[in-house]
Structure 1
Amino acid sequence: MTYASAEGRGVTVGLLFLGRKRPGFDMEWGRQMQQRVRRQLGQMELDVFEPREQAVDDASIRQAIAECEEHGVDALVLLQTTMADGRLAPTAAQLWPDPLVLWATPEKPEGDMVSSCSLVGTHVWASTLKRLGHSFEIVSGDPDEAGTRQHVIEAVRLAATVRRLRRLRVGLIGGQAPGFLAMNADPFALHQSLGAQLQTYSLLEFAGVVESLPTKAVEEDVAVVKRMNLPHKDTTDEDLPMASRLYLAMRHYFDEEHLDALAVRCWPEMPNTYGQWPYLGMARLADEGRAIACEGDVDGALCAWIGESLGMGRCYLSDWLEHDDQTMTLWHGGAAPLSLSPPPDQPGGPRIARHFNNKKPAVVEATIKPNMPITIFRLWRCDGNCHLAACDGDTIQPRRHLMGTQALARLVDRNPSDWFDELCHRGMPHHVAVVPGHHSALLRRLARMMHFVFS
């Protein structure tokens, strides 16, 4: 059985009820709870697939998981609305190598009989999976409660993100920027730690794509940019055709090379070769939900992809420019998603400008919206470990204007100076990902699921 919500966002859930071969507990209560789960899942931001039969023994759980695999399920949600057989947990772990979501439903609130032991059964499975080294998420609660539904969505997104990471295809054009050695991407370490594959392309190959774009396609895209009503600071419409060529060339790699994320070496070659920076195009791609990173930062592109996969929103990849004991300044050359700034006709809104350093177009000069909750995070590898750092914060009004894209942030629970010192000693590269909302707790759960070191 398949059913989808009106707001489905591309995550397909396998809903697997673990049943009983013999009656026990309150079977009618269990059936009622199953119907409530189905009803609420059908209203969430998920597409739901349910195998034909419940899993009650080894043969039936094998059949159910095989149906989920055939249907292209991204995450498995397993429920025991009455306590099921704990001996099935090792089979599930063998057949589904990615994280499992275990959902414990509540006891019947009336009467003196224990109605389900759902939480007990979930505990049995969780303790078994932990000893098997198999990741999982636990949800406990009534499907009719908003908090439970939110927890389900988060758990499903986490499990689906891990599964999709192991099938991810990342592109790198030209390598990392000169001197940024910590951003060097090792395709084998990337695959071993995340399961993702890395495909590399030369700047000469990129140039071939730029030059081969039809004039009509470029003209049509220039018209799209003009309809965005972005004001010029010190550029003109004459700068737009090359900006569109660079945008379309980068988009080509997403579409034609089937990439999920892309990192591009944007300097020094591009401004010298094309007379332009690709940052206006990068800002547009980021605003479209594409995981794009400048300066050849592959892990930065992965951060953007993780943000999108977990539903956190558009990602601004930034330098950590300066800090004091209260605030940190986030700044970069001008490739932030347009939607993270005020509208173009308001102070701080995006405008097309020349680069602060060599005065070549086309970058996006903007201020990230003040008074916005944000999460600052970063993924990287060092000393044989995969690391993930995350902290919640809030943007405030910047003290001064800076060319490029900027934000001033106050961290929620730590001193920026102390955190910077800790992260430097853990080997974190110098870019951080910034997304709207407070998500550090969700990222901590991702780190636990992936066996990362969390800071």
Structure 2
Amino acid sequence: MSGETLTIGVLPLGRPTFDVAFAEEMLAGMMADLRASGHRLIGPEKLLMDADATQAAMTDIKAEKPDRILILQVTFTDAALTCRIADTFPQPLAIWAVPEPRLGGRLRLNAFCGLNLASHALGLRNRLFSWRYAAPHTSGIEALLTEEPMVCPLISQITDADPEYGGALLDGLRGRTIARIGAHPDGFDTCAYDSARLADLIGMTVTGFELADLFDRARAAPEAAATGLKTELSANLAGLDQVDQTQLDRSLRLKLALDGMKAEGGFDAFAIRCWPETFTEYGGAVCGPASMMGEGRVPCACEADVYGAATQLLLQAASDQPVFLVDLVDLDSSDDTGVVWHCGQAPMSMAEPEAIARATIHTNRKMPLLFEFPLKPGPVTFVRLSQARGQQSLIIARGEMLKRDMAFTGTSGVVRFDRPAEEVLTRVIDSGLEHHMALAYGDHVGALESFAAAAGLPVIHL
């Protein structure tokens, strides 16, 4: 199609909880590039912040009979609207997500994570698409607009690793229990699960609770226990007195509530619907409590990600150390590095020793308690019990966490993968990987391959 003028339907997706002014600046640059391409553009040139605005734009675009559909992933969004767009338009589909500078401040756009969720959801639906992860005013726009879909699904392979050690890992996971608190958010296909399928795979069981159960327990926690937990934390965490003390108390009570649920139910891990209700209905973050639970070898997965919690238990067993469930939020080919991040819930033992671990607030919701520190340098292993493209597999990566300044607020680290960053970027999108991976320090690839052999799971190496 090169040289042909196309009619392109453009849908710029964003969310008001991110840096809207910066997002609008990025959108202006993206639209300038699109106009310079010479193709006919239809659709709004403003951020579509909700389903109603997006549906109205889709209706207008559909009437114009576009040749292609382009989603501009300007900030993070879940995949619900992307899937609705894909279902509405049979035309070739493309997604352009923008990176943001690693300045040590808040994650202002988190657009890569939105692309990650979209690739997983579209992969489950067997919908191929083209994609681009690049700043405005960089080359490559014409290929995105005119070429065939770029996604090339990866083929998982049965490993030839010795299953003996992996069999012991698998046996150790059988009978483990996960408490799922609340349902995963809409548009997070990455966090969907089938309890029977998980039980068949590794023998874990899931017990469901409502968020109200957690909140009621937290409100009923003894004041003295919350005060004692704050005193204990203050020995290793600076700035506790600088955050809102009422919200801090609520947050600490969530830790006490989780402790109580574990004591009563014997749960080995939790998968918690962490937002928005912990902020909007309860009034305190569960991120700091998740960090403390993880340090105590009771991993907690965000967004009610049950397979994420199961993955944490696997990697914890393989590594014999605390694990951290991360988002991959950036890959930079020019620096050959990626950034892994989560709001503020890495186990404290992963902190860079020379850094001061601090108490902080959630960057979007503005409530404590979150931890803030860069991750320490050293070899790291990533893994995901994956359901990408509807097939269960084990997705593994290895790298080196670098001694770098903190890329974004919360808990984050700059990692150099075994493969070049550009290849990792492509393989993440091609695989349809979920947006959560478990991280542990050390090289545990051999143990994980052995586990996969014992469990009959095919493997994809990023």
TM-score computed with the length of structure 1 as normaliser:
0.61
User: Larger Rg: 1 or 2?
Assistant: 1
- Secondary structure at 1:310's aligned position in 2? helix
* Alignment match, 2:371: 364
* Alignment match, 2:416: 410
Which one of 203, 206, 217 corresponds to residue 198 of structure 1? Answer: 206
Which one of 425, 434, 441 corresponds to residue 429 of structure 1? Answer: 434
Q: Contact conserved, 1:312 with 1:435, CA < 8 A, in 2?
A: no
* Alignment match, 1:332: 342
Q: 1:180: how far off?
A: 1.1
- Mind listing any 5+ residue stretches in structure 1 that lack a counterpart? 1-134, 139-154
* Alignment match, 1:266: 274
Cα 1:404–1:178 shift into 2, 3 Å: farther
Q: Contact conserved, 1:364 with 1:405, CA < 8 A, in 2?
A: yes
Report 1:242-391 matches (<5 A): 242-325=250-333, 326-343=336-353, 346-347=354-355, 349-370=356-377, 372-383=378-389, 385-391=391-397
CA distance in 2, matches of 1:417, 1:231: 38
Q: 1:353: how far off?
A: 0.3
Equivalent residue letter for 2:250: M
- Mind listing any 5+ residue stretches in structure 2 that lack a counterpart? 1-160
CA distance in 1, matches of 2:256, 2:186: 25
Equivalent residue letter for 1:338: M
Equivalent residue letter for 2:274: C
Which one of 201, 224, 248 corresponds to residue 216 of structure 1? Answer: 224
Q: Contact conserved, 1:275 with 1:361, CA < 8 A, in 2?
A: no
CA distance in 2, matches of 1:403, 1:229: 15
CA distance in 1, matches of 2:405, 2:225: 42
CA distance in 1, matches of 2:200, 2:456: 13
* Alignment match, 2:170: 162
Q: 1:226: how far off?
A: 2.7
Q: Contact conserved, 1:234 with 1:354, CA < 8 A, in 2?
A: no
Q: Contact conserved, 2:247 with 2:367, CA < 8 A, in 1?
A: no
Cα 1:177–1:188 shift into 2, 3 Å: same
Report 1:74-113 matches (<5 A): none
Q: Contact conserved, 2:326 with 2:341, CA < 8 A, in 1?
A: yes
CA distance in 2, matches of 1:273, 1:258: 27
Q: 1:231: how far off?
A: 3.1
Q: 1:196: how far off?
A: 1.3
Q: Contact conserved, 2:179 with 2:267, CA < 8 A, in 1?
A: yes
CA distance in 1, matches of 2:241, 2:324: 21
Q: Percent identity?
A: 25
Equivalent residue letter for 1:254: K
Per-residue displacement from partner, 1:19-53 (whole Å, max 9, x unpaired)? xxxxxxxxxxxxxxxxxxxxxxxxxxxxxxxxxxx
Q: Contact conserved, 2:163 with 2:451, CA < 8 A, in 1?
A: no
**Relative contact order, higher structure (CA 8 A, sep 6+):** 2
Equivalent residue letter for 2:372: E
* Alignment match, 2:238: 230
Q: 1:330: how far off?
A: 0.6
Q: 1:422: how far off?
A: 2.8
Per-residue displacement from partner, 1:52-87 (whole Å, max 9, x unpaired)? xxxxxxxxxxxxxxxxxxxxxxxxxxxxxxxxxxxx
CA distance in 2, matches of 1:440, 1:427: 21
Matched, 1:450 2:458: no
Equivalent residue letter for 2:366: K
* Alignment match, 1:180: 188
- Secondary structure at 1:193's aligned position in 2? helix
Q: 1:237: how far off?
A: 4.9
- Secondary structure at 2:304's aligned position in 1? coil
CA distance in 2, matches of 1:178, 1:234: 34
Q: 1:236: how far off?
A: 5.2
CA distance in 2, matches of 1:169, 1:274: 26
How large is the Cα RMSD of the aligned pairs?
2.1
Equivalent residue letter for 2:411: T
Q: Contact conserved, 1:210 with 1:246, CA < 8 A, in 2?
A: yes
Q: 1:185: how far off?
A: 1.9
Q: Contact conserved, 1:375 with 1:439, CA < 8 A, in 2?
A: yes
Cα 1:311–1:227 shift into 2, 3 Å: same
Q: Contact conserved, 2:173 with 2:313, CA < 8 A, in 1?
A: no
Cα 1:234–1:177 shift into 2, 3 Å: farther
- Secondary structure at 1:199's aligned position in 2? strand
CA distance in 1, matches of 2:368, 2:424: 35
* Alignment match, 2:403: 397
Equivalent residue letter for 1:437: G
Q: 1:312: how far off?
A: 4.1
